[in-house]
Structure 1
Amino acid sequence: MAVKIIIIRHVPPEKEPEIRPILLQMRSLAHAQNGYISGETLINFDNPLERIVISSWKSIENWNDWLNNKQRINYQAQVERRS
């Protein structure tokens, strides 16, 4: 069964130039992950600091594999250090 995952990120405007390339690398890595279907990033019109990421996966197992991917964990840690 396919699943959709929703992630909410808060990106300070002064940090966006640092964070954006990391998020793009993470997205590129996700595209190559087994079970990845699609993804989109939305910016909250009322709060432009808020990003909503919606990704679709073939199964919850595929999502969990991605969640535990060592490269993804490394990218996520880089984003958190800069946020």
Structure 2
Amino acid sequence: MVKVLIKRHINEGKAKDVFGLLNKQRAIAMNQRGHIKGETLMSYQNPHSLLVISTWQSMENWLAWKENKERRANEAKLEQFLETPTEYDEFIFGTYPSKK
């Protein structure tokens, strides 16, 4: 299983635009192979800081979704409302697998 932490810092006054795009992204992700769940969290100290936690069955499933054309197009729209580029951290459960 894989958990992906996606960090975004949105521009002031753009929350409605960002959440609209994130909801669209999540709806599409739910139909992707290997998708388990997704959560969106807003920082208590800084409401402009968002964390999306996305859970996948495998790294291959996540990477296929990350490179999906529709996702990438939506991500490009999202980037215009962000203070900084999106950051991704990918975590696997268990021991570290050997790379092929």
CA distance in 2, matches of 1:18, 1:3: 28
Counterpart position of 2:74: 75
- Which of the pair has more CA radius of gyration? 2
Higher helix share: 1
Which structure 1 residue ranges, 4+ long, deviate > 6 Å from structure 2? none
Which ranges in structure 2 are unaligned for 5 or more consecutive residues? 83-100
Counterpart position of 2:50: 51
TM norm structure 2? 0.78
Query: 1:7-46 alignment to 2 at 5 Å?
Result: 7-46=6-45
What is the DSSP-based 3-state SS (H/G/I as helix, E as strand, rest coil) of the residue aligned with 2:72?
helix
What is the DSSP-based 3-state SS (H/G/I as helix, E as strand, rest coil) of the residue aligned with 1:73?
helix
TM norm structure 1? 0.92
CA distance in 2, matches of 1:59, 1:15: 33
Number of residue equivalences: 82
Root-mean-square deviation (CA), in Å?
0.9
CA distance in 2, matches of 1:34, 1:59: 10
Which ranges in structure 1 are unaligned for 5 or more consecutive residues? none
CA distance in 1, matches of 2:4, 2:81: 23
What is the DSSP-based 3-state SS (H/G/I as helix, E as strand, rest coil) of the residue aligned with 1:56?
strand
Give the percent of matched residue pairs that are identical in Structure 1 and Structure 2.
Answer: 39
CA displacement, residues 7-60 of structure 1 (integer Å, 9 cap, x when unaligned): 111122311122221111001001011000011111111111101100110000
